[in-house]
Chain A
Amino acid sequence: MFLVATLVLHWDREHVNQAHVVLVYLLLVLGGSVSGGRTLGLTLTAAGLIVIDFYFQLPYDALTIDVAKPLDALVLVAFLTTAFVTTALLAEERARAREAERRAAEVDSLGKLGAEILSTASGEDTLAALAALIRNSLDVACCRIYGADPEPRLLVVSATDAKPGPLPAAPDAPSLAGFFRDPVPFENGTNAVMTSLRAHNRVVGLLHVSDVKPIALDDARRRFLDALAYYAALAIERLRLVGEADRAAALNILLASVSHDLRTPLTTIKALAQDGARHGETNALAIEEQADRLGRLVGDVLDLSRLQSGVLPVAPELNTAEDLVGAALRQTSALHNGRTVTTDLDLDAPALVGRFDFVQSLRVLTNLLENALRYSPSGAPVDLSVQRAAETLVIEVRDRGPGIPAGEHERIFEPFYRAPGAPPDVGRAGLGLAIARRLAELQRGSLEYVPRPGGGSIFRFSLPSPSL
């Protein structure tokens, strides 16, 4: 192109103006820059400069600058400047466009990654995709992601055979432990670069990329790596949470199955014992009582297990204390044995409303009533009262039993506690109060013991009662 133009112009040298020549060569430089880049543009600039001077400035066919003709020199300088600046500008523009394209591609892949993390794809698949993406976009030979649950361990590796050469070794266990504890040095420019993966202000993992040659990351690459690292941290967290949920679900299934297996023979024993009682067998009643006791113990142990694993659901709703008291009295009616349970509820005040889980609160209250009835001397009434004060419902169960010795007031709420001196077959294995307190707390309430003036016990069961 360049040669053709030169020939044409040279052939008509006598008639063409320097302006025509310069403009033609400028066009050539422009075209060359656009198609061939900075190198071609600069080459054409230099070539053009020489050709203009040689062929198209007097004296012809000589590479001189005639000092007596300052305008010629001006033409050369103007051409050089224009061509050079144009080439440089074009090259910069091209570089910026390329950079923008690359950025757009990065954002696109980050977007897809985000969608993948939120999708139902398994956490492991997401991590594997992340590792591959990091390896490809950084163009390194190997990418490793470590997590800690709770010990540091390798979660995924993405590697390629396409890069021959020795790779730095993976960190050993003691170093790994160190990297999870202390800040990780970011050694840009070495063969192995590491960065911590953080989510929710915690170190949840470690990213390790290694290559056969030193890895040098410019700022843009560094920022992209940080974004990917954040996604990796989220993916690791998701893996952990899904694992926990799975374990909780598995635990629930296990407990339900154990519960069913333990209860089925108890149901039979109880029914057959009742049958025997109807036919006058003397031991039948005792058998039934023991079956009941065993059933309660099974239920308590399973519930305590659920409570301690945090898988017992509590659903607080709008309920009334009266409803609760009525149901509790009904459930414990068999134990009354002629003793009175007095109820003190202000029935003229508006309904005593609270926000609690009816079934779980019923368990607490029946537990307290059963204890009170069991430890109360015959003839002494058990008193139940409900009051509302300061956004709290306070239910108190009072008895005139032996009370709890000083110093044991908190210990009675421990699992398997048994009051000193209590006969071994009275009541359960000491689980009731531990469960009751935990159930109260799960509903944002509380359960306390207060000694009764004049002898006996007061158990104070509080539940939230927000103003409507």
Chain B
Amino acid sequence: MSTHAPTPPPATVSGATRARAILVIEDDAPIRRALRNALGEVADRVLEAETGRVGVDLTATERPELVILDLGLPDMRGLDVCREIRSWSRVPIVVLSARYSDTEKVTLLNAGADDYVTKPFSTPEFVARVNAQLRRSHLPAENVAPVVEAYGLTIDLLRRRVLRGGTPLRLTPIEWEILRTLVSNAGRALTHQQIFDAVWGQAAGNPQQYLRVHITNLRRKIEANPARPDLIITDPGVGYRAELPEA
């Protein structure tokens, strides 16, 4: 099933190009309508699917630029929809989840979803997240610019160093790896597991339990106010993400 959005109001997104098509996989009709309204200013076409199976098919045939996936579909688990799509596509997937179901969110993110929005959601926040994912996906493949400027910091991924106002900051190897992982995936919610795997790999013992301590130490070194971080944001119960200022 697909439908056209009504003539959208002028684009309010600063500088971003509108997406050609976004797919919404959601079985509840009123929520589908609300999502359609919200996405009207972000995409030319909003495609809709009521079941997981139709959603996977539409992803294959219509090639949307982003997929909104609700969990709690009648025919398939959200996890299976995500896995199927991921097995042949890198299209950004934003998951709609219920509150206090952190395990669900973590499972989906570990399976390849890029971000999540908790129901009931605030429309502006939802639109902002969708836009962030669209921006990320528009960058060339293996996307990251080698030098990232944000919040007074210069993060040089090529030369592996961070500077504030021209002065290099001293990070431990683990702190650097964490920063690099987050910034290379800027805008994307990374689970604790994904950060462990990227930084510690198959390390023996249990060093991963100190991840939060490392994050805290890293914030102290690079954030202007470590207790109110700008760059390294906590996703409670899920993990962390790097949020770059809107270009």
Contact = CB atoms under 8 A, between A and B. Distances in A.
A454 B181 CA distance: 48
A22 B30 CA distance: 110
A420 to B, nearest CB: 32
Interface in A319-360: 319-320, 322-323, 325-327, 329-330, 343, 345, 347, 351, 353, 358-359
Contacts of A343: 227-228
Contact of B122 (A260, A272, A274): A274
Contact of B31 (A264, A330, A351, A353): A264
B216 A320 contact: yes
Contact of A317 (B122, B209, B227): B209
B226 A322 contact: yes
A268 B30 contact: yes
A266 B31 CA distance: 10
A295 B33 CA distance: 20
Interface string B217-241: 1011000001111000110110000
A334 to B, nearest CB: 9
A359 B236 contact: yes
Contacts of B37: 271, 275
Contacts of A418: none
A330 B216 contact: no
Contact of B229 (A268, A270, A326, A359): A326
A274 B123 contact: yes
A73 B187 CA distance: 115
Chain A interface size range: 35 or more
A362 interface: yes
B121 interface: yes
B98 interface: yes
Contacts, number: 103
A25 B109 CA distance: 93
Interface string A122-151: 000000000000000000000000000000
B215 interface: yes
A452 interface: no
Chain B interface size range: 35 or more
Contacts of B123: 271, 274-275, 278
A323 B237 CA distance: 12
B102 interface: yes
Nearest to A386: B227
B121 A271 contact: yes
A437 interface: no
A178 interface: no
Contacts of A347: 220, 226-227
B227 A322 contact: yes
A412 to B, nearest CB: 24
Contacts of A330: 228, 233-234
B119 A263 contact: yes
Interface string B18-60: 0000000000101101110110000000000000000000000
Given A295-B120, A327-B236, A347-B220, A359 B102 contact: yes
A259 B120 contact: no
A67 to B, nearest CB: 98
A268 B31 contact: yes
B212 interface: yes
Q: In this complex, which of A266, A326, A327, A358 has the most chain B Cβ atoms within 10 angstroms of its Cβ? A: A326
A271 B227 contact: no
A245 interface: no
Interface string A257-290: 0011001111110111011001000000000000
Given A267-B121, A271-B120, A323 B31 contact: no
B99 interface: yes
Contacts of A270: 120-122
A157 B217 CA distance: 66
Contacts of B124: 274
Nearest to B124: A274
Contact of A325 (B35, B213, B215, B227): B227
Nearest to A348: B220
B213 A351 contact: yes
A265 B124 CA distance: 19
12 contacts: A263-B98, A263-B119, A268-B33, A270-B121, A274-B122, A275-B38, A275-B123, A322-B219, A330-B234, A351-B216, A351-B217, A353-B213
Given A275-B123, A358-B237, A359-B237, 6 more contacts: A260-B72, A267-B121, A270-B122, A275-B38, A329-B227, A359-B236
The 6 lowest CB-CB distance pairs between A and B, nearest first, are: A271-B34, A268-B30, A267-B120, A359-B237, A320-B216, A274-B123
